[in-house]
Structure 1
Amino acid sequence: MSSKILLIDDDDRFAGLVKRALLAEGYQVDIAEDGLSGLAQFTENSPDLVVLDWILPGMDGLEVCRRIRQVGTQPILMLTGKESTKDRVLGLDAGADDYMVKPYETEELMARIRALLRRTQLDQSIIYTFGDLTLDTSTRQALRNGRVIHLTAKEYDLLEIFIRNPRKVMTREVIFDRVWGYDFGGESNVLDVYIRYLRQKLESNKESKLIYTVRGVGYVLKEKE
């Protein structure tokens, strides 16, 4: 299941740009245009992460941050135009886990969000299941029909991307970004090599194929065709 992100910002144009970038990464996104509605949505929807502006109508972002911290432990990323060192200290002391200044680079924002979510997920044991395949994020162990599949770190990261996004085509660019942190370029075959290794391990007992190639796009985890 994709992570839910609550974006609290009163600038419609800016919020729209951030939302589109988040949706492109596969996140679910809710938007609140002021502090009070942001708190209400936080309580109602229980997001996995909050992206919070400082300057908001009515209740400002610092107070919103403090109130969220009173009731929840979800990571908060402050994304604001206030850029002084004092502002950063105030934001972090109010309970923010990270602080970014506008204007920002989309790639850096996405990377920081991924890092915050990873940090949170390390404290949680999530077990994903797809057919006869199981992945335990706390032990980083994969099982197929009860058989332990011994994976390298990169093979595990690849499999986690697929099982978190079943039946969804994952583009080569997205996979490179999430597993290696950058794009090797269109001519690199490193991804194809790792996919081949992963398939061999998943199908070593002649089990059905799980990872399919979508030519010119990427790969998808799905049921047997």
Structure 2
Amino acid sequence: MRTILLVDDDPNILTLMSIHLTKAGYRVEKATNAESALTLIPRVWPNVVVVDVMMPGMDGFELTQKIQDEFDLPVILVTAKGLLEDKEKGFLAGSDDYVVKPFEPQELLFRIGAVLRRSAQPYEMRVQVGSLIIDRKRLEISNGVETKWLPLKEFELLALLASNPGVVFQRSVLMEKVWGYDYAGDEQTLSVHIKRLRERLMHFVPDVQIGTVRGVGYKLEPRI
């Protein structure tokens, strides 16, 4: 299930958008300000963040920039400002799309779908962390000299960690993204897969490791 994070200081707008997105099959998370959104993102790891521009404190432009710098997630800006210079400012901040109020809920759904399709394309390309090369099309990993194939769930888990090197993924997020929102198993499954991955990577790519943040989750990072 795809997760959408809505960021808006107006609770009525949050409720309205949440209703339509939930009906469309998305899981919805909500934040009423930029600071809450930045705290929530590592916990839920949304597929798209929908951000209102005019918020007290940190505005949507600044939040978008921080999301791009820290998490590299797709952002759709929502604002009452439709001037060309405002749109330019939004795209320069790193937004993937720009919706001007008032808009029909269906328009937001169309735009979210388009952003998801675009953001899915790079996911099939190669990603490199240190000497570790992950080829998502071929479902294989390489160290530049030899190639290995991993069991599918191990590969999906490693590819997810490699999508944002150094960023901590909560255990619950990893379980949902790899095993599915309705997975009935326990977190021991994740622990076993992490252990196996560590054993496989230890000699294959000695400059890369899966780090543990106790009580939170895991991250893929250079070995110190």
TM-score normalised by the chain length of structure 1: 0.54
Match of 1:114 in 2: 113
Which of structure 1's runs of 4+ aligned residues deviate more than 6 A?
Answer: none
Match of 1:37 in 2: 36
Partners of 1:27 and 1:61 in 2: how far apart?
22
Residue 165 of structure 1: how far off its partner (Å): 10
Structure 1 SS opposite 2:76 = strand
Q: Does 1:53 pair with 2:52?
A: yes
Residue 112 of structure 1: how far off its partner (Å): 0.7
Match of 1:179 in 2: none
Q: Does 1:11 pair with 2:10?
A: yes
Structure 2 SS opposite 1:74 = coil
Q: Does 1:26 pair with 2:25?
A: yes
Match of 2:103 in 1: 104
> Residues 116-159 of structure 1, C-alpha deviation per residue, up to 9 Å, x if partnerless?
0111122225xxxxxxxxxxx969xxxxxxxxxxxxxxxxxxxx
Partners of 2:122 and 2:88 in 1: how far apart?
26
Q: Residues 122 and 138 of structure 1 are in contact (CA less than 8 Å); yes or no, is this contact kept in structure 2?
A: no
Higher relative contact order (CA 8 A, sep 6+): 2
Partners of 1:38 and 1:10 in 2: how far apart?
11
Give the greater-gyration-radius structure (CA).
Answer: 1
1:60 aligned partner, one-letter code:
D
1:39 aligned partner, one-letter code:
L
Same amino acid, percent of matched pairs = 36
Match of 2:81 in 1: 82
2:41 aligned partner, one-letter code:
F
2:45 aligned partner, one-letter code:
S
Alpha-carbon RMSD: 2.1
Partners of 2:37 and 2:56 in 1: how far apart?
11
For structure 2, the residue ranges without an aligned partner over 5 or more in a row are: 125-135, 139-179, 183-224
Structure 1 SS opposite 2:122 = coil
Partners of 1:106 and 1:37 in 2: how far apart?
24
1:80 aligned partner, one-letter code:
T
For structure 1, the residue ranges without an aligned partner over 5 or more in a row are: 126-136, 140-163, 167-225
Change (3 A) 1:165 1:68: closer
TM-score normalised by the chain length of structure 2: 0.54
Matched residue pairs, number?
A: 130
Match of 1:62 in 2: 61
> Residues 146-195 of structure 1, C-alpha deviation per residue, up to 9 Å, x if partnerless?
xxxxxxxxxxxxxxxxxx999xxxxxxxxxxxxxxxxxxxxxxxxxxxxx
Residue 32 of structure 1: how far off its partner (Å): 0.4
